[in-house]
Amino acid sequence: MAQVKSIKGTHDILPNQTKDWQELEMQVHKTSNLYGYSEIRTPIIETASLFNRGVGEETDIVSKEMYSWEDKDKSIISLRPELTAPVVRSYIQHNLGGQSPLQRLYYIGPSFRRERPQKGRQRQFHQFGVEAIGSANPEQDAEVISLGWDILKSFGIKSLKLKLSSIGSKSCRENFKSELVKYLNPFIPKLSEVSQRRLEKNPLRILDTKNKDEIEIVKSAPKIEQFYTKDDQNYFFSVQKFLNDLEIPFKIDPLLVRGLDYYTQTTFEICSENLGAQDALLGGGRYNGLVGSLGGKDAPAVGFAAGMERVIIAAKNRKKISPKIPTIYAICTNDEAMGILQNSAKQLRSIGYKVICETLRRSMRSQMRDANKSNADYVMIIGDDEFNSRTIQLKDLKNGEQEKVDLEKIISYFKSLTF
Ligand code: AMP
């Protein structure tokens, strides 16, 4: 019969890869908690209109890449393409703002976008991220950036680069947009089809072009900083000052525009040299307009989302951080003794040992071969002799030493060992 394969752009995370994922998740939980952030988990499916309103109908994410379908009750449902809009929906729905003037939230989970699959770009991918909802002050932006920076560092990524920009307030952006369009209009015949469309719908995104000819055109375009108001300027300077105080190096990149519509003021991206073309590990910024536009009471907010697949690729050569758990391989060649062995294994696990029990009833030789392969520290063996004398044979696989221990003493024996 024909095999069923996974869907294009989706990937299994196999047993030899999940350790990295667990360690990354552990670092996200640990570091976020150290900063006083609490985890929030929202559903993978949401009403499509959440993203139409929250991300923007004219963005690629919503217009081209969202998986949506009509449900039996005729409502349109989508697989979430990102988590900021769902987190804000939940914040409004459960009145989290009423519980505390500042909500510091973080999340981990899958997102779905129907993009052209390539290295570092999948149709189901995973993100972790944070949203700090309630503070309009620049120290909040610096805190969020610092948290993202610390998570990536703590996971062992060395070559991190922070790019920083500000897209100013709404009025600044409107003025900039119209000047940019004026500047680009004479170049329309030279622009790609995509950029021509963007010129009408979302001209700022042309600044992000990867097309060589367009990069040249964009070089001489008006710059956003020419349109900052005094407040925009002061805000941006303060964020930079706090980052200096935190000793986080950054480079100002005026061409950094985020793909999503709800950003205001600060935008940032953290990249890694260890990646190819898709080098952005994490992207974020301030989005003061989103809570209000999703029907909540206006609340300023700042956050980021990081791509976990990319973070894991970028950390390929990191030093592993998880401590080694002492491991025992439990061998049994007497079927009647199987229960005794399993009970001893259970007790040893309760004092912190990892114990792998043989359940294939193989020969002593093949069980030993597996024990050596499993990188165990010890094997414990119950054969006929041991079963009859209520003992267990122990072998230290590091030095080959062997001894017989009374069954009753096995727990105290292992308790006394230090690793
Ligand atoms: P965004 O929500 O577009 O700001 O993306 C935030 C981060 O998610 C990016 O910096 C990437 O690391 C990651 N990301 C976005 N889209 C994909 C994708 N299709 N596949 C893998 N990672 C992605």
Q: What is the pLDDT of residue 56?
A: 79
Dist. CA 86 → ligand 1 center (Å): 16
User: DSSP states of 358-418 as a string?
Assistant: --S---HHHHHHHHHHTT-SEEEEE-HHHHHHTEEEEEETTT--EEEEEGGGHHHHHHT--
Distance 267 CA to ligand 1 centre (A): 15
For residue 82, count CB atoms less than 10 angstroms from its CB and return exposed for 0-12, middle for 13-18, buried for 19 or more. buried
* 260 has a pLDDT exceeding 70: no
pLDDT tens track for 30-49: 999 999 999 999 999 999 99
Asked whether residue 259 carries a pLDDT value surpassing 60, the answer given is no
Report residue 290 as tokens.
Answer: 């989103």
Looking at residue 27, what is its pLDDT?
96
Distance from residue 306's CA to the centre of ligand 1 (Å): 7
Residue 159 three-state SS:
coil
pLDDT at 180: 92
According to DSSP, the residues that pair with 395 across neighbouring strands are 379, 402
pLDDT at 322 over 70: no
Rounded Cα distance between 38 and 298, Å, is 21
**Bridge-based pairing state of the strands 76-79 and 68-70:** antiparallel
Helix 230-245 to helix 138-154 angle (10° resolution) is: 40
Atom of ligand 1 nearest to the CA of 280: 10
Q: Which of 126, 128, 269, 282 to mutate to test the pocket of ligand 1 (most atoms within 8 A of CB)?
A: 282
- Please answer whether residues 71 and 37 qualify as being in contact, where contact means their C-beta atoms are separated by less than 8 angstroms: no
**Per-position DSSP letters for 186-206, written without gaps between them:** GGGGGS-HHHHHHHHH-GGGG
Ligand 1 atom closest to residue 122's alpha carbon, by position in its atom list: 20
Q: Can you give the pLDDT at residue 261?
A: 63
Q: How far apart are CA 315 and CA 183, in angstroms?
A: 41
Hey, which of 28, 60, 125, 267 would you mutate to test ligand 1's pocket, going by the most ligand atoms within 8 Å of its Cβ? 125
Given ligand 1 and candidates 131, 167, 304, 309, which is best to mutate, with the most ligand atoms within 8 Å of its CB? 309
Mean pLDDT (whole number) for 314-320 = 85
Nearest residue (by CA) to ligand 1, atom 18, is: 121
Measure 396 CA to ligand 1 centroid, in angstroms.
47
Q: Whose CA is nearest to atom 22 of ligand 1?
A: 307
- As a whole number of Å, the end-to-end CA separation of the chain is 50
Q: Which atom of ligand 1 is nearest to the CA of 282?
A: 10
Please report, rounded to a whole number, the percentage of residues in the chain having pLDDT higher than 90.
76
pLDDT of residue 250: 97
Query: In angstroms, what is the span from residue 322 Cα to ligand 1's centroid?
Result: 26
- Separation CA 319–CA 48 (nearest Å): 42
What would the mean pLDDT of 68-90 be, rounded to a whole number? 97
The residue-averaged pLDDT of 370-386 equals 93
The DSSP bridge pattern shows strands 391-396 and 402-406 to be antiparallel
Q: Which residues line ligand 1 (CB under 6 A)?
A: 82, 113, 115, 120-122, 125, 127, 259, 280-283, 305-307, 309-310
Atom of ligand 1 at shortest range from CA of 127: 8
Please, which residues have CB within 8 angstroms of residue 176's CB and are 6 or more apart in sequence? 168, 204, 222, 224, 226, 227
Mean pLDDT of the chain: 93
Structure confidence by residue, pLDDT tens digits, 22-32 = 999 999 999 99
**Rounded Cα gap, residues 146 and 37, in angstroms:** 13
- Measured by CA distance, the residue closest to atom 14 of ligand 1 is 307
Please give the pLDDT value at position 419: 66
Residue to probe by mutation, ligand 1, list 275, 310, 313, most atoms within 8 Å of CB: 310
- Highest-scoring range by mean pLDDT, 53-67, 205-219, 398-412: 398-412
Read off the pLDDT band of 309 (50, 70, 90).
very high
Ligand 1 centroid, distance to 125 Cα (angstroms): 8
Please report the pLDDT score of residue 321 as a whole number: 66
How much distance in Å is there from the Cα of 5 to the middle of ligand 1? 24
Q: Which tokens is 92 given?
A: 């409004």
Minimum mean pLDDT range among 38-52, 164-178, 272-286, 289-303: 272-286
Answer whether 394's CB lies under 8 Å from 380's CB. yes
Min mean pLDDT across 28-42, 228-242, 270-284, 404-418 is at 270-284
CA–centroid distance, residue 307 to ligand 1 (Å): 5
Q: Lowest-pLDDT range, 34-48, 154-168, 252-266, 278-292? A: 252-266
- Smallest CA separation from ligand 1 atom 17, residue: 121
In the reported structure, the alpha carbon of residue 29 is separated from the centroid of ligand 1 by a whole-number distance in angstroms of 20
Minimum CA distance residue for ligand 1 atom 20: 121
- Stretch 389-408: mean pLDDT: 94
Question: Which tops the pLDDT comparison, 53 or 380?
Answer: 380
Given a cut of 60, whether residue 379 has pLDDT beyond it is yes
Mean predicted confidence (pLDDT) in 105-132: 95
Among protein residues, the one with the nearest Cα to ligand 1's atom 12 is 307
